[in-house]
Amino acid sequence: MNPSPPFLTVLGHEKVEDRLAHVLTTQGGLTASLLVTGPEGIGKALFARKLACVLLSGKGTGSEKTLTACCAPLVAQEMQKGTHPDFMAFASHREEGSVAQIRQILGWIAKKPLRSLVKVALFEDIDRLNRNAANALLKTLEEPPEDTFLLLTSAHPERLLPTIRSRCLLVPLSPLPEKAMARVLEQHQLSLEPSSLALCAGAPGKALALQTRETLYPQFLQALQTSEQGNLSIVQEFTEKENIWPFFSWFSLHFLHASLCAEKDPPPARREALLTLWRETHRKIVQGEYLNLDKKAVMLWFFCALGEIPKP
């Protein structure tokens, strides 16, 4: 017996699922374009795939009460294998080929469904599209074919063109509550230290990312400590680790936020300096992600800037 696809067992968003299932089973359907939003790592893409499975299954007018019950097992398995002819997923990026790829998918959207009554196109991390690609997609969002659903996901909907946001039904997801996080960790046989679990902030995807790299946060803290002592050798070593940028952007903002929350009545100068550094760090992370700012330079700047913050 084949195991259930991961999107059928996604946890923590039951209230949103119940609302959508109610709309499907009592009101006859959903709008053609939906935008699933929420922080990184909380299961937006899995949630969108479950919704796509429901739409492709052609259910929702009978006695089904949950999205999972609305999913036909064969459709779910084909989606998981990438063989369903009426489903296509696109992971957004900002490379030069993104416009050509978007146009290729739009060409597929223009065709009739082969098996289901509808087609479903999933665009993950839609805020990562460059402007030309976003404009190409906008034309289809304005006039989607009657037999097509467009599902978009974004951790930063504020970066989207206002015209894209306005043409989608917003489906906001929240970080998982503590009990749901515990169930996910148990499901994946994960065990994280409290300090690492706190970094996850209700995002199972972050817990999975830390599964094999749990030593990174202590190394980040060690780099902070040595940088304050004027020793940048460990900082240099940390910034040169392979694929460290996503973890740095995560650790740095979490550390600053935790510092602000942990201190009771910090001196005004220190509080203002921490707030300013958080804003500037966030700005530079965005620039590093989207404007090709030198990521290593951003990391080195952060460690040096933090050493200049007034001590508590």
pLDDT of 34 over the 90 cut: yes
Q: Give residue limits of the domains in the chain.
A: 6-172, 215-307
210 or 106: whose pLDDT is higher?
106
Q: How confident is the model at residue 61 (pLDDT cuts 50, 70, 90)?
A: very low
Residue 88 scores a pLDDT above 90: yes
> What digits encode the pLDDT tens for the residues 125-140?
998 888 888 888 898 8
Cβ(285)–Cβ(217) below 8 Å: no
Separation of alpha carbons 177 and 12, rounded Å? 7
Does residue 51 register a pLDDT over 60? yes
**pLDDT at residue 1, rounded to an integer:** 44
Structure tokens at 21: 């299932």
Query: Please, what is the average pLDDT of the chain?
Result: 84
Structure tokens at 82: 């990438």
Answer for the pair 20, 192: CB distance below 8 angstroms, yes or no: no
**CA–CA gap between residue 165 and residue 168 (Å, rounded):** 6
Residue type at 166?
S
Question: How far lies 55's CA from each of 52, 122, 185, in Å?
Answer: 5, 12, 29
Strand partners, 119: 148
Given a cut of 90, whether residue 30 has pLDDT beyond it is: no
Give me the helices (H) in 143-215, please: 162-166, 178-187, 194-200, 204-210
Model confidence at 96, in pLDDT bands (50, 70, 90)? Answer: very low
In the CATH scheme, what is the code of domain 6-172? 3.40.50.300
pLDDT class of 63 with cuts at 50, 70, 90:
low
Q: Counting every residue, how long is the chain?
A: 312
- Enter the pTM of the model: 0.75
d(CA 302, CA 174): 29
Q: Which of 96-105, 166-175, 177-186, 300-309 shows the highest mean pLDDT?
A: 166-175
In this prediction, residues 151-167 reach a mean pLDDT of: 91
